[in-house]
Structure 1
Amino acid sequence: MPALVLENVEVIYDKVFLAIKGVSLEVGEGEMVALLGSNGAGKSTTLKSISGLLGPERGLVTRGEIRFGDRSILNLGAPERVAGGLVHVLEGRRIFGHLTPDENLVAAYRGRSIARFNQLREQVYAYFPRLKERIKSKAGYLSGGEQQMLAIGRALMTEPRLIMLDEPSLGLSPLLVQEIFGIIGTINAEQGMSVLLVEQNAAATLDIVSRAYLIEQGQVVMSGAAEVLKSNPDVQDFYLGGAEHTDYRNVKHYRRRKRWLA
């Protein structure tokens, strides 16, 4: 049984703007899947439809079905979805800057056992030893990479079965991106945790996931195994840096290559 299934999901903002149009995707148990696309394509809206965070932005799922495990979650609030094992690490980290890393972890823990909290906290520090080195610092003074590590670590304190990461590479150096993606892969392998990774950095993402979906203008336009997408000439041209080799004098040919937007 897939961990997560979206079937023909549509989202409207302010009862007017159709943001995503019939998006369907699956994430298997213990699988790492990517949702790729350019800025404004509908990636973050898709994640918020899953985590239940559309309401504050006046968004609404108006069509389709979202199932997590064996149940529909459309009628559940965001806290209930977290309690069920679904966690969303938002774009921009959103850590509590006035608290220390330890206090951020305390704020996310939902259980009552001090022993279990200590186990989870030590697990987070094992994955992200830099956070333990900065344990007495205010989180707002951590580097961008350390803040991203804290955001992921805080999500792990909820003991999720599926973690959704929105642009974890945003604003980070290539070396830090490689380090954080490596840790995400380790968490997936060691815990069997399903991962849905939203990214614009297609090159780095396709190296660590098993499958990917490509979304443009609110629609899934391509999906398949990561290796298949990496070898696709259109994906190479528009998302993997291959476009720099295109002959721009032949503009009609270049425009035609992005066939899925025709």
Structure 2
Amino acid sequence: MSTDTAAGPILSLNNIEVIYDRVALAIKGVSIDVPQGGMVALLGANGAGKSTTLKAISGLLKPERGEVTRGDLRFPGRDIDALMPQQRVQLGIVQVLEGRRVFEHLTPDENLLAASAVAKSSRAEMTRMRDRVYGYFPRLHERRTAQSGFLSGGEQQMLAIGRALMTNPKLLMLDEPSLGLAPFLVAEIFDIVQKINRQEGLSVLLVEQNALAALEVVSHGYLMENGRIVMHDSAAAMKQNPDIREFYPGGSEGKNFHEIKHYSRRKRWLS
């Protein structure tokens, strides 16, 4: 399990509210801290508001006609709400979007070099960072000259994370990296992200529906429902919570709350 290496948070959301099209309230009073060098999970079902929260942090709300209308968003300790997405990348915030978005017509090598251009790195620095990515993802090195559209889903997810690492981030935000992947691939990718966190002190905010898989590698978790945080605890405590185990994909009982009638009435935090 990841451990927090410093007292102060690198990222702090305090009572954040997001509205789309000036009328639709998407997230309400969300407060989250990511410790410096820590790994934190934001859990919840599809549509809970997790991706909206990430986009509020990375600055990607405006193209979708969303805006932060209340609360404080600080990284690290600096108000970043007025900054453009590119300015946030330059500060060290990088988001790996859901869906393994890579340039399918380019090779992994070309994808990584294209990503490093965002950070305006020297050629020597590009090479060093690319070699670092291949060190973490040796499978990508084996496929480095293949067209990325022909990579497997797991390899494309590795490449998406590798592209993010090429910007030399301080905070890595992963949006549903397990989506559509076999459990053994999810475990492999999560183990690699945990290794990067431990070896480099890279702070990680992991957004997931697969709660139990995520809670294996983080120190703390937040559970989101209907745009609100309804639970926050250590990963160890959340893994043992019967509602987490029952109602979220990856639980030992294998139940999906979409298939359980009146599930919301049975949750202890809603009763």
Aligned residue in 1 for 2:188: 179
Q: Deviations over 1:185-225 (max 9, x none)?
A: 00000000000000001111111100000000000000010
Q: How does 1:91-240 map to 2 (within 5 A)?
A: 91-109=98-116, 110-239=119-248, 240=251
CA distance in 2, matches of 1:79, 1:94: 18
Deviations 1:63-115 (A, max 9, x none): 11100112011010000000001100000011111111111111111233111
Deviates more, 1:49-58 or 1:111-120: 111-120
State the number of aligned residues. 259
What TM-score, normalized by structure 1, do the two folds share? 0.94
Amino acid at match of 1:61: V
The 10-residue stretch of structure 1 (129-138 or 233-242) with the greater mean CA deviation from structure 2: 233-242
Q: State how far apart, in whole Å, the 2-side matches of 1:194 and 1:151 are.
A: 17
CA distance in 2: counterparts of 1:98 and 1:54, whole angstroms: 27
Q: Which residue of 2 aligns with 1:47?
A: 54
Deviations 1:30-73 (CA, angstroms, capped at 9, x unpaired): 10000000010000000000000001111111111100112011
State the alpha-carbon separation in 2 of the partners of residues 143 and 14 from structure 1: 37
**Per-residue displacement from partner, 1:208-249 (whole Å, max 9, x unpaired)?**
1000000000000000100111111222221224475x9x99
TM-score computed with the length of structure 2 as normaliser: 0.91
Q: Which runs of 5+ in 2 are unaligned?
A: 1-7
Q: Considering only aligned residues, what root-mean-square deviation do their CA atoms show, in Å?
A: 1.9
Cα distance between partner residues in 1 of 2:159 and 2:245: 33
The residue that corresponds to 1:87 in the other structure is 94
Whole-Å Cα distance in 2 between the matches of residues 243 and 89 of structure 1? Answer: 27
Tell me, yes or no, if the aligned pair for 1:111 and 1:117 is still in contact at 8 Å: no
Q: Name the amino acid aligned to 2:21.
A: D
